[in-house]
């Protein structure tokens, strides 16, 4: 087994884990190219993870495997542990380079997958693909829009399913944390048949993973006070925090057995709410999936193929009791014990218990196609790819604000079935009031993708160095998304963020051409020199056309040494939510820089700009809000990226089995889609000399020519950002004998030298590299993963180490506790034994030394960065596999 995992040449990838023989003459298509080649030379920096390596990790969730890669970073880098999961409500994701989940293209057998989630989402739900059906995963860490189109900016993850599977295989895996929680059960049943005309494989997979409660890992939320970490809580209290006319802040009774008329001076150390008791450290997941893959040769030169997948996923997350805010009680209100007017700032309805958020999604994917040969050197395929995801999500114990107001209105409560409510003090909210004001919020939505593609590839003609290879193709794709929030959410009657329905479709027609041109072969210092070229033209119904190119060089200098370089462009199209998100207006707190401008010094740039803009002398803003437009923006254009990679592959002939790779990457994204607050736009505009900033145009705000008031202000997403990312990937594989036993060592590391985001022209860059926390995830400059595999005839063992380098907190500076985060090292151990050719047992331990997550000053949950570090702790598992052939 072990030799098949690690025997491949490093020319193919930097991890050395592709099952197969590097000397095979069968033509293969590697990720990043549509050309079938008679070698495994990668067109760019790539990590390939074979089925044996996947088994050696013991993971049952694809995202866990991918998130261990050193090239994974940022938000979404450890979403299994995260409380909120962005863009999909419980959807596991992958974020290559930390550049955003919507800039990583995920493919299944080289074709796109419909987005997952519960409506108008942008990322693939990785949980829909059982690891038991995966033959290998190819992770191309390079822009590939010239080959695949939109979204392949940071790279491509191509998941390739098993083929030529013969027999029946049943597997059961059970595991749990050593703390006694986080139980997990995985059941897989795979059947396959293969003959000389084709193959068929079907799989049924079930996964049930229990939660890990936050209080079982973290005693309380902590913050630094006087050099010590102390417990604290949310200022949304269970008794209710309120403001008196003289500015005194009070808190109403929080003793369940106390008097409802009691109140005291608000003290955060006494009254704040410990929300830690309400959350999960790891959320539960239940998944049932069915999949089938088949191909059949109708003739010697014509075949059919098809894929069918269905996945049902159910997830849920508890959350602290719901909060109501900003309610005025006059002194005469019968429930007001203060004897004076009081403004209730917030009050948790703790009597109802925790909220329970929930999601359920159903995802279908069907592929049908024909493939064949025009000749021995020319191949073609056409396919239809349809995917549809539908979901429902919601939460219990949400407050209907319309009904709440009715229960507080003494003129109508107590009549017509409307109970009277007393919300000032814990325990005062009665069951009949809760039954009246609380409801279960339910939203629905989905995503649908259809595509028709045709590809032709072959040998165009011969040149002295060999055949010129060519691939051409066409793809028509429609991506549709929709989201229907609860009706009370739409009208703003729920104590949660208002949301509008979303619906839209992005349509495109695309053509591409790719060529591989051999330049030299068997020449001095040029064992093989080839030029790779690609061009793709994309025509979008929404915003016109775009084109992308790729220029690659593969230079095998000598047998031991190869150099590869790629220069390419890539793009990301705005998604349905960014384009068609419900446009609405709201009065947002905003200060107009021109308010009182005529009182400033005439030399002040704000004075000069407001005067030049025609704002009347003596103008003063009325109030502290401005009507602001939010939601989608149909005027958005695609993001564009320029990518350069340069790599060296070294396989010394004097040390058989050793392979080294070193790849430099440099990525720049222009016109990045960002959302700039309206107040920032006004401030930047009027502080820029001569109003010479893009935010000073009517697309961003306008003023009344009579009053000078801002009568239009947009906080919609715009193409204003610039991002630069630079770094180095290093890989080492070594196959050797250890005490006469076959062994293999694999080491991968990523060094992040620079990652800066400039949200708009003239803004200070946001430095991500070397920083962790603040809701951004982890961008440590050093991340690595290494493994040692040792095997014999019947037994084997794998020891792996994951290193997350040190970093600085995004928002804190020394000497603050948690401002500097040390490196964290996780250890993984697995042992296997084959009782026979049919039965195999694997036993493993993850986080072997029970490494705790470090304290991060600007933590997201659990006093750490939940998108970077493990919260479960040491956990064990066993997997038994039996195969009938």
Let me know how many helices (H) and strands (E) the chain has, helices first: 11, 45
Question: Phi and psi (nearest 5°) for 103?
Answer: -110, 10
Going by pLDDT thresholds of 50, 70 and 90, the confidence category of residue 91 is confident
Taking the CA of residue 499 as centre, how many other CA atoms within 13 Å lie in the half-sphere pointing to its CB?
A: 23
Statement to judge: residues 594 and 488 lie in one domain: no
Closest CA to 839 of 170, 202, 185, 192: 170
Going by pLDDT thresholds of 50, 70 and 90, the confidence category of residue 63 is confident
Statement to judge: residues 696 and 824 lie in one domain: no
Q: Identify whether 137 is part of a domain.
A: yes
- What are 399-419's pLDDT values in tens digits? 999 999 999 999 999 999 999
What is the Cα Rg of the chain in Å?
30
Q: What is the DSSP string of 664-719?
A: EEEEEEEEEEEE--HHHHHHHHHTSGGG-SGGGSTTTEEE-TTT--EEEEB-SEEE
- The rounded mean pLDDT for the chain is 91
Statement to judge: residues 700 and 781 lie in one domain: no
Determine how β-strand 771-772 pairs with β-strand 111-112. Answer: unpaired
| pLDDT above 70: percentage of residues in the chain | 94
The mean pLDDT of 190-206, rounded to a whole number, is: 96
- Which of 688, 713, 738 is a domain's end point? 713
Instruction: Determine the pLDDT at residue 2.
Output: 39
Distance of alpha carbon 663 from its chain centroid, rounded?
A: 24
Give, for 866, the enclosing helix (H) or strand (E). none
Instruction: Determine the pLDDT at residue 26.
Output: 56
Statement to judge: residues 112 and 186 lie in one domain: yes
pLDDT at 85 over 60: no
- What are 346-393's pLDDT values in tens digits? 999 999 999 999 999 999 999 999 999 999 999 999 999 999 999 999
The mean pLDDT of 33-57, rounded to a whole number, is: 80
Statement to judge: residues 725 and 704 lie in one domain: no
Statement to judge: residues 683 and 780 lie in one domain: no
267 neighbors 251 (Cβ within 8 angstroms): yes
Going by pLDDT thresholds of 50, 70 and 90, the confidence category of residue 11 is very low
- What are 201-229's pLDDT values in tens digits? 999 999 999 999 999 999 999 999 899 99
The mean pLDDT of 182-196, rounded to a whole number, is: 96
For residue 801, count CB atoms less than 10 angstroms from its CB and return exposed for 0-12, middle for 13-18, buried for 19 or more: middle
Q: Identify whether 96 is part of a domain.
A: yes
Statement to judge: residues 191 and 307 lie in one domain: yes
Range scoring the smallest mean pLDDT among 258-262, 305-309, 676-680: 258-262
The H-assigned helical ranges of 69-109 are none
Q: Please state, as a whole number, how many other Cβ atoms lie within 10 Å of the Cβ of residue 532.
A: 22
Range scoring the smallest mean pLDDT among 170-179, 249-258, 822-831: 249-258
- What are 543-597's pLDDT values in tens digits? 889 999 999 999 999 999 999 999 999 999 999 989 998 888 888 888 899 999 9
Statement to judge: residues 183 and 312 lie in one domain: yes
Instruction: Determine the pLDDT at residue 716.
Output: 94
Q: Please state, as a whole number, how many other Cβ atoms lie within 10 Å of the Cβ of residue 326.
A: 8
Check residue 857 and report its DSSP letter. Answer: T
- What are 470-524's pLDDT values in tens digits? 999 999 999 999 999 999 999 999 998 888 899 999 999 999 999 999 999 999 9
Q: Please state, as a whole number, how many other Cβ atoms lie within 10 Å of the Cβ of residue 97.
A: 23
Q: Identify whether 644 is part of a domain.
A: yes
CATH number of residue 372's parent domain: 2.40.170.20
Range scoring the smallest mean pLDDT among 200-209, 259-268, 385-394, 437-446: 259-268
Q: Identify whether 239 is part of a domain.
A: no
pLDDT at 86 over 50: no
- What are 762-811's pLDDT values in tens digits? 999 999 999 999 888 899 999 999 999 999 889 999 999 999 999 999 99
Statement to judge: residues 554 and 695 lie in one domain: no
- Which of 693, 713, 733 is a domain's end point? 713
Statement to judge: residues 555 and 614 lie in one domain: no
Domain count, the chain: 2
Output the CA torsion 347→350→353→357 (10° steps).
Answer: 20
- More confident: 542 or 12: 542
Q: What is the DSSP string of 762-796?
A: TPPPEE-TTEE-TTS-EE-SEEEEEEEEEE-SSEE
Q: Identify whether 268 is part of a domain.
A: no
Which pTM value belongs to this model?
A: 0.91
Going by pLDDT thresholds of 50, 70 and 90, the confidence category of residue 42 is low
pLDDT at 84 over 50: no
Q: Identify whether 264 is part of a domain.
A: no
Instruction: Determine the pLDDT at residue 123.
Output: 85
Question: Helix (H, G, I), strand (E, B), or coil: what is residue 90?
Answer: coil
- Domain with 35, as residue range(s), is 2-214+283-318+358-397+442-579+637-676+717-884
Statement to judge: residues 476 and 537 lie in one domain: yes
Q: Identify whether 429 is part of a domain.
A: no
Query: How many residues does the structure list for the chain?
Result: 885
Going by pLDDT thresholds of 50, 70 and 90, the confidence category of residue 261 is confident
Q: Identify whether 750 is part of a domain.
A: yes
Statement to judge: residues 306 and 454 lie in one domain: yes
């Amino acid at each position: 087994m072990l030799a098949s995992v690690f025997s491949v040449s490093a020319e193919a990838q930097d991890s050395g884990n592709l099952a197969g023989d590097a000397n095979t003459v069968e033509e293969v298509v590697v990720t990043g190219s549509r050309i079938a080649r008679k070698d495994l030379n990668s067109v760019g920096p790539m990590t390939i993870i074979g089925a044996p390596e996947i088994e050696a990790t013991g993971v049952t969730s694809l995202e866990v495997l991918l998130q261990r890669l050193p090239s994974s970073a940022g938000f979404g880098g450890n979403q299994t542990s995260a409380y909120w999961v962005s863009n999909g409500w419980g959807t596991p994701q992958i974020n290559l380079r930390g550049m955003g989940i919507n800039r990583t293209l995920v493919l299944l057998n080289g074709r796109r997958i419909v987005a997952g989630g519960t409506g108008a989402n942008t990322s693939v739900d990785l949980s829909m693909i059982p690891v038991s059906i995966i033959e290998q995963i190819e992770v191309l860490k390079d822009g590939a829009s010239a080959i695949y189109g939109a979204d392949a900016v940071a790279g491509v993850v191509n998941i390739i399913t098993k083929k030529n599977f013969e027999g029946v295989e049943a597997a059961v895996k059970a595991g749990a944390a050593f703390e006694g929680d986080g139980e997990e059960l995985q059941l897989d049943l795979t059947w396959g048949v293969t003959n000389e005309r084709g193959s068929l494989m079907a799989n049924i997979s079930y996964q049930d993973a229990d939660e890990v409660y936050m209080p079982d890992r973290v005693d309380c939320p902590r913050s630094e006070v006087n050099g010590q970490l102390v417990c604290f809580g949310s200022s949304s209290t269970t008794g209710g925090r309120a403001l008196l006319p003289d500015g005194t802040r009070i808190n109403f009774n929080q003793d369940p057995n106390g008097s409802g008329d009691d109140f005291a001076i608000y003290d955060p150390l006494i009254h704040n709410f410990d929300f830690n008791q309400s959350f999960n450290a790891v959320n539960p997941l239940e998944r049932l999936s069915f999949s089938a893959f088949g191909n059949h040769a109708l003739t010697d030169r014509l075949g059919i193929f098809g894929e069918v997948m269905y996945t049902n996923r159910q997830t849920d997350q508890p959350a602290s009791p719901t909060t109501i805010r900003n309610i005025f009680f006059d002194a005469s209100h019968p429930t007001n014990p203060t004897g004076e007017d009081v403004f209730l700032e917030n009050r948790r309805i703790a009597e109802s218990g925790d909220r329970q958020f929930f999601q359920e999604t159903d995802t279908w994917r069907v592929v049908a196609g024909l493939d064949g040969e025009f000749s021995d050197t020319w191949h073609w395929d056409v396919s239809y790819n349809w995917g549809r995801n539908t979901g429902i999500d919601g939460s219990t114990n949400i407050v209907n604000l319309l009904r709440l107001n009715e229960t507080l209105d003494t003129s109508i409560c107590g009549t017509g079935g409307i109970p009277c409510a007393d919300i000032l003090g814990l325990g005062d909210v009665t069951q009949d009031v809760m039954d009246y004001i609380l409801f279960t919020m339910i939203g629905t939505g989905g995503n649908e993708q259809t595509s028709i593609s045709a590809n032709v590839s072959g040998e165009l003609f011969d040149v002295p160095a060999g055949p010129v290879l060519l691939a051409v193709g066409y793809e028509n794709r429609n991506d549709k998304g929709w989201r229907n929030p609860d009706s009370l959410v739409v009208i703003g009657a729920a104590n949660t963020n208002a949301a509008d329905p979303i619906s839209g479709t992005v349509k495109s027609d695309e053509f591409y051409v790719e060529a591989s041109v051999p330049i030299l072969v068997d020449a001095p210092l040029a064992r093989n020199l080839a030029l790779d070229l690609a061009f793709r033209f994309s025509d979008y119904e929404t915003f016109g056309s775009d084109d992308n190119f790729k220029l690659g060089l593969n230079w095998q200098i000598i047998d031991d040494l190869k150099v590869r370089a790629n220069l390419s462009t890539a793009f990301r199209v705005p998604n349905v939510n960014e384009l068609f998100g419900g446009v609405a207006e709201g009065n947002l707190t905003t200060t107009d820089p021109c308010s009182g401008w005529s009182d400033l010094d005439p030399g002040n740039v704000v004075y000069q700009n407001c005067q030049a803009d025609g704002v009347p002398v003596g103008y003063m803003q009325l109030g502290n809000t401005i009507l602001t437009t939010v939601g989608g923006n149909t005027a958005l254009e695609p993001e564009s990226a320029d990518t350069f990679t340069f790599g060296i592959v070294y396989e010394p002939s004097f040390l058989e089995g050793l392979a080294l790779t070193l790849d430099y990457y440099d990525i720049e994204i222009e016109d990045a889609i960002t959302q700039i607050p309206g107040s920032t736009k006004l401030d930047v505009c009027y502080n820029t000399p001569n109003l010479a900033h893009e935010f000073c145009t009517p697309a961003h705000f306008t003023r009344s020519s009579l009053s000078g008031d801002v009568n239009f202000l947009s906080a919609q997403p715009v193409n204003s950002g610039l991002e630069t990312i630079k770094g180095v990937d290093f890989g080492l594989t070594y196959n050797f004998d250890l005490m006469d036993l076959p062994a293999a060592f694999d080491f991968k590391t990523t060094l992040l030298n620079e990652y800066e985001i400039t949200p708009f022209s003239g803004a200070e860059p946001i430095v991500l590299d070397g920083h962790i926390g603040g809701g951004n995830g982890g961008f440590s400059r050093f991340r690595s993963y290494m493994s040692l595999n040792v095997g014999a005839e019947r037994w084997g063992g794998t020891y792996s180490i994951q290193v997350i380098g040190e970093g600085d907190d995004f928002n804190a500076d020394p000497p603050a506790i948690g401002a500097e985060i040390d490196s964290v090292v996780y250890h993984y151990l697995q042992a296997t034994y084959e009782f026979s050719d049919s039965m195999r047992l694997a036993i493993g331990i993850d986080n072997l030394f029970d490494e705790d997550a470090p304290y991060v000053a600007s933590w997201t949950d659990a006093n750490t960065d939940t998108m970077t570090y493990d919260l479960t702790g040491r956990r064990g598992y066993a997997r038994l596999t039996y195969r009938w052939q």
